[in-house]
Amino acid sequence: MNTCDPRHPAAEHNLGSQTIIEITDLRTQFGDTLVHENLNLHINAGEIVSLVGGSGSGKTVLLRQMLGLNQPTAGTVRVFGEDINRISSEDLQALRTRWGMLFQHGALFSALTVFDNVAQPLRELRVLPKDVVRDVVLLKLQMAGIGPEHARKMPADLSGGMIKRVALARALALDPDLVFLDEPTAGLDPHASESFVDLIRELHDEMKLTVIMVTHDLDTLFALSSRVAVLADKHIIAYCAPDKVVEFKHPFIETFFRGERGQRAFEALPEPSERKEDA
Amino acid sequence: MLYGSVRDAFLFLTYTCRMPTLDAPSLAFSQDGHHTVTATGAWHVQALMPAQTMADIKLALKSAGTTDAQHWDLSQIDSMDYIGAQLLWNAWGRQRPAQLTLAPQHEDFFRRFEETGMLDMRKAPQKHWYSLDVMLQRKIALADHILGFIALIGQLVIDLGRFLRLPQRGPWKEISANIFHTGYQALGITALVGFLIGIVLSYLSAQQLHQFGGDIFLVNILGMAVIRELGPLLAAILVAGRSGSAITAQLGVMRVTEELDAMLVMGLPHGFRLILPKVIALAISMPLLVVWTDAMALIGGMVAANVELGLTYKYFLRELPDAVPLANYWIGLGKGVVFGGLIALVACHFGLRIKPNTESLGAGTTISVVTAITVVILADAVFAIIFTGVGF
């Protein structure tokens, strides 16, 4: 299955030659537990990549390593061509204005209003005039589907879906090139998660984002991803388009994707003998 | 502006994937015939970050706004994002200038601004501190605290009754754990502070007494002050700062993480399982800490007296029982019990009222410690009034 090699993502569209994230021979170890070994992944600019894997397979750890929050035991993680663990602090600071992260539970600053939460990264630059900050914040909130009437509310007064939208607006405040989403639709009802998926797709097109998300939600995965990276056996076993990934022969992929095949669009797959819920 | 599908978008969008070297954005004015403002460089937040660039741009935009020339040529801009576009948009007075040349890939920004229109937040209602509404609110908040505290004491009495009726089903483990945390772990700090205060008090008194030749009365002064007043008060203030804040923060975080609700759902009442053990534990460990602090302060005083006045340890210890009637010791212990219970109650009261946000947690812990210390000193004054004639 050469088409699913994580090191050489096949160019399926005109773009796809520029690498935005490059993970080489990554190894992660906590005490005696080996989480990742020989993990390689090259992600091209403009993709929407879904990272899937069983619980405890180290998806979130991998995401945090891309953000420089966790250090790998060995191997390199390059983001925008820079080794994230060897970068100078000024470059890291500059790099941090070029990505945004949507945390699973929003991670909004609970002591600040919605407006101040989104304004925080803009004010941190200390150069933008007040009226520009105000307009940019309200525009970003509007783009994320939050009207200006909610801008003075506190995070504690918001519903789960609204928290995600505000957190997304905050992640996008600085017009990043790269956005990380940790379980973007977890905890949302089907309607809310569908509209959130539409929102991410619209913003991806409009703001020329590269999106990397961890998700368990197959609907989100198939609706959004241009590629799927499957993390199992401590490394990325397959990295290619969703319709190719489901054909990949691996026990994890068979239980993960084919368990719920009845609802999917591409059902030319043999019925697995044992039906299991997704891992 | 929204493309049909993700795939289509790839065909004509450009993505950046290296740390680029961005040309600083700038404006150029040409005065030949029709006034043209030409924008060049990257109108991108990363390029705008240097303070000098931003100052230049602000100045240029301002002067561009004053000339009524107004043919804007943005076609030579390398790259743009919403923040750069917003800068221009605001300089134009939030509308499209009459004559505008624009690269097609930057059209979306301004179309989005036009579609969205002017967004306005509701103004937060400003209230003056002297308005009737605010004062009433404050009075209501105070009444609420007082009622809440009374209800807490009432609940404690009910729980205590339940505990005494069925002591074998009481929260023994919680009580013992709390005694360990609030009592045993506070031994070090109370010993240190008590010892040092004893030294200070002894030195100060010794100097004064020496002038009048009343050296031997040092034992009386030190004994009375430490055993009746300072020992219990010192221990209480230290415990209020140490354990009071810990209790408030613990209950506050339990509120934030919904552990309090989980307990209620499982049928574990807060009063019986959280508050009662803390109150009982502090009511037990505080008098013990008082004895400990008393002893340490007296040892400190004794050492200082030996150095300063040459009073022997033997003399000091022999004189102490005569100088300080036993009643003072019992008053000190009683204070310990009352102070301990009050600190636990105040800490629990504020802990249960913390709202699920970080600011409330900080503010609640602060006010809990301040209130606990104030309440302890108030209670001390009440003790002083009640026991005026006792123990002299």
Query: What is the C-alpha separation between B208 and A75, in angstroms, rounded?
Result: 73
A19-51 burial, b at 16+ Cβ within 10 Å, e below that, comes to: bbbbbeebbbeeeeeebbbebbbbbbbbbbbbb
Asked if B2 and A15 come within 8 Å (Cβ–Cβ), the reply is no
Q: Which of residues 114-143 of A touch B (CB under 8 A)?
A: 115, 122, 125-129, 131-132, 135-136, 138-140, 142-143
- Asked if the C-beta of B52 comes within 8 angstroms of chain A's C-beta atoms, the answer is no
The whole-number average pLDDT for the span B183-189 is 95
| Phi, then psi, of A77 in degrees rounded to 5 | -125, 115
Asked if B45 and A18 come within 8 Å (Cβ–Cβ), the reply is no
Query: What is the C-alpha separation between B299 and B162, in angstroms, rounded?
Result: 42
Q: Which of residues 118-137 of B touch A (CB under 8 A)?
A: 119-122, 124
- Asked if the C-beta of A80 comes within 8 angstroms of chain B's C-beta atoms, the answer is yes
The whole-number average pLDDT for the span A27-44 is 90
- Which residues in A lie closer than 8 A to residue B86 (C-beta atoms)? 132, 135-136, 139
Chain position carrying tokens 């029709």: B34
Query: What is the C-alpha separation between A20 and A42, in angstroms, rounded?
Result: 8
Name which of A125, A172, A198, A226 to mutate to probe chain B: the one with the most chain B Cβ atoms within 10 A of its Cβ: A125
C-beta separation of A72 from A27 below 8 A: yes
Q: What pLDDT digit, counting tens, does each position of A82-103 carry?
A: 888 888 888 888 888 888 999 9
Shortest Cα distance, chain B CAs vs residue A40, angstroms? 18
Of B11, B15, B359, which has the smallest distance from its Cβ to A210's Cβ? B15
- Asked if the C-beta of B83 comes within 8 angstroms of chain A's C-beta atoms, the answer is yes
What pLDDT, on a 0 to 100 scale, did the predictor assign at position B298? 95
C-beta separation of B312 from B302 below 8 A: no
The CA R_g of chain A, rounded to the nearest whole Å, is 19
pLDDT tops 90 at residue B150:
yes
pTM: 0.74
Q: What pLDDT digit, counting tens, does each position of B249-289 carry?
A: 999 999 888 899 898 888 888 999 999 999 999 999 999 99
Closest residue on chain A to B55 (Cα): A127
Q: Identity (one letter) of the amino acid at A36?
A: H
At A14, the pLDDT band (50, 70, 90 cuts) reads very low
Query: What is the C-alpha separation between B3 and A39, in angstroms, rounded?
Result: 34
Asked if A175 and B81 come within 8 Å (Cβ–Cβ), the reply is yes
Helix (H, G, I), strand (E, B) or coil at A42: strand
C-beta separation of A143 from A169 below 8 A: yes
Name which of A12, A14, A15, A178 to mutate to probe chain B: the one with the most chain B Cβ atoms within 10 A of its Cβ: A15
Closest residue on chain B to A149 (Cα): B121
- Asked if the C-beta of B15 comes within 8 angstroms of chain A's C-beta atoms, the answer is yes
What pLDDT, on a 0 to 100 scale, did the predictor assign at position B147? 94
Q: Which of residues 165-224 of A touch B (CB under 8 A)?
A: 174-175, 177, 201-202, 204-208, 210, 224
- Which residues in A lie closer than 8 A to residue B365 (C-beta atoms)? none
What pLDDT, on a 0 to 100 scale, did the predictor assign at position B10? 42
Asked if B14 and A175 come within 8 Å (Cβ–Cβ), the reply is no
Pairing verdict, β A235-240 and A227-232:
antiparallel
Query: What is the C-alpha separation between A22 and A40, in angstroms, rounded?
Result: 8
The whole-number average pLDDT for the span B42-58 is 84
Q: What pLDDT digit, counting tens, does each position of A227-248 carry?
A: 999 998 888 988 888 888 888 8
Of B17, B83, B124, which has the smallest distance from its Cβ to A80's Cβ? B17
Q: What pLDDT digit, counting tens, does each position of A138-164 carry?
A: 998 988 888 888 999 988 888 888 998
Identify which has the larger pLDDT, B177 or A2.
Answer: B177
- Which residues in A lie closer than 8 A to residue B9 (C-beta atoms)? 46, 204-205
- Asked if the C-beta of B165 comes within 8 angstroms of chain A's C-beta atoms, the answer is no
Asked if B121 and A151 come within 8 Å (Cβ–Cβ), the reply is yes
Q: Which of A180, A111, A242, A89 is nearest to B357 (CA)?
A: A111
Question: Would you tell me the crossing angle of helices B231-239 and B276-308 to the nearest 10 degrees?
Answer: 130
Q: Count residue pairs from A and B with Cβ separation < 8 A.
A: 140
What pLDDT, on a 0 to 100 scale, did the predictor assign at position B31? 66
- Which residues in A lie closer than 8 A to residue B108 (C-beta atoms)? 206
The whole-number average pLDDT for the span A20-48 is 90
ipTM of the complex: 0.76
At A278, the pLDDT band (50, 70, 90 cuts) reads very low
Asked if B86 and A139 come within 8 Å (Cβ–Cβ), the reply is yes
- Asked if the C-beta of B381 comes within 8 angstroms of chain A's C-beta atoms, the answer is no
Q: What pLDDT digit, counting tens, does each position of A203-231 carry?
A: 888 888 899 999 888 888 888 889 999 99
C-beta separation of A37 from A235 below 8 A: yes
The strand pairing partners of A239, in sequence order, are A229
- Which residues in B lie closer than 8 A to residue A13 (C-beta atoms)? 7, 10-11
Helix (H, G, I), strand (E, B) or coil at A43: strand
- Asked if the C-beta of B3 comes within 8 angstroms of chain A's C-beta atoms, the answer is yes
At B117, the pLDDT band (50, 70, 90 cuts) reads confident
What pLDDT, on a 0 to 100 scale, did the predictor assign at position A273? 42
What pLDDT, on a 0 to 100 scale, did the predictor assign at position A206? 81
Query: What is the C-alpha separation between A205 and A174, in angstroms, rounded?
Result: 16
Shortest Cα distance, chain B CAs vs residue A271, angstroms? 30
| Phi, then psi, of B349 in degrees rounded to 5 | -55, -50
Q: What pLDDT digit, counting tens, does each position of B1-39 carry?
A: 344 444 444 444 444 444 556 777 888 777 665 678 888
The whole-number average pLDDT for the span B70-95 is 84
Of A14, A18, A226, which has the smallest distance from its Cβ to B11's Cβ? A14
Asked if B10 and A97 come within 8 Å (Cβ–Cβ), the reply is no
